[in-house]
Amino acid sequence: MRKRRSKSFIIPFLIVLGCIFVAVYIGVQLKKTISADTGVPVGTVLLIDPGHGGRDGGTSASDGSVEKDLNLVISLPLYDMLRVMGYRAEMSRDSDCMLCDSGLKTLREQKISDMKNRLKLYDQSRLTISIHQNHFSQSQYFGTQIFYGTKNAESKQLATTIRQTVLGLLQPDNKREIKKATKDIYLLSNTKAPAIIVECGFLSNSDELAKLKSVEYQRKLAYAITCGVLEYDP
């Protein structure tokens, strides 16, 4: 009898001890991966960053199309497709807004704050794909141009892969090579995490502008970028 009692006591004791061990382990892991600032897990999020927003429109076309809007309408299906593929995608913005702190009056102050806040998001993410549009004084130039971050070697690989899928699926005539970001591209030259900018096309080229404004082409771009991510990080 005595033996049985001690045995029946030991098993629940071991179960409780096991549960405590598992709970402590999970707690330690969560502490490691959750940022104190935002509550967003560090290093797991695939960030989609539609460039500009709010008072910062970016570049614009002669028909009045504004870069910030096109960036958003390409980023939204990209976000959806990546989520469907099982990635933990997040967006830096999903509406027409800046990411600046409140209470700042001048556009310059707001832009600086916006950039600093975006940089924090980039640094906390597994990787960042920022969506932008190009513009040039001469209208013949066209095609997606990809820039990559300078502080993390993975940025170049990500840019190479996405260039291949975008050009391969959509732009066989585009001969543009990927470019290393210069210092004036603040986010790419400062983030420590892998990051690229996809300048989807030129708003100064009327044929490309018409494509960029069509929902069909926006989805094709999102699809081609998603294929690049799948190849880079399956």
Binding site for Zn ion (CB under 5 A): 51, 58, 132
Question: By C-beta, is 40 or 134 nearer to Zn ion?
Answer: 134
Question: By C-beta, is 51 or 228 nearer to Zn ion?
Answer: 51
The least CB distance from residue 67 to Zn ion, in Å, is 5
The least CB distance from residue 47 to Zn ion, in Å, is 16
Q: Which residues, other chains included, contact 169 with Cβ-Cβ below 8 Å and sequence gap of 6+?
A: 220, 223, 224, 227
Q: Which of 145, 27, 9, 132 is nearest to 69 (CA)?
A: 132
The least CB distance from residue 164 to Zn ion, in Å, is 23
Return left, alpha or beta for 155; rule: phi > 0 is left, psi -120 to 50 is alpha, else beta. alpha
The least CB distance from residue 58 to Zn ion, in Å, is 4
The least CB distance from residue 181 to Zn ion, in Å, is 13
The least CB distance from residue 214 to Zn ion, in Å, is 20
Question: By C-beta, is 87 or 135 nearer to Zn ion?
Answer: 135
Residue nearest to Zn ion as judged by C-beta position: 132
The DSSP secondary structure of the chain, one letter per residue, reads -HHHHHHHHHHHHHHHHHHHHHHHHHHHHHHHHB-TTT-PBTTT-EEEEE--BTTB---B-TTS-BHHHHHHHHHHHHHHHHHHTT--EEES-SSS---PPTT--SHHHHHHHHHHHHHHHHHHSSEEEEEEEE--SSTT--S-EEEE-SS-THHHHHHHHHHHHHHHHH-TT--PPPEEPPTTSHHHHH-SS-EEEEEEEETTSHHHHHHHHSHHHHHHHHHHHHHHHHHH--
Question: By C-beta, is 127 or 187 nearer to Zn ion?
Answer: 187
Question: By C-beta, is 59 or 124 nearer to Zn ion?
Answer: 59
The least CB distance from residue 17 to Zn ion, in Å, is 56
Question: By C-beta, is 85 or 115 nearer to Zn ion?
Answer: 115
Question: By C-beta, is 90 or 199 nearer to Zn ion?
Answer: 199
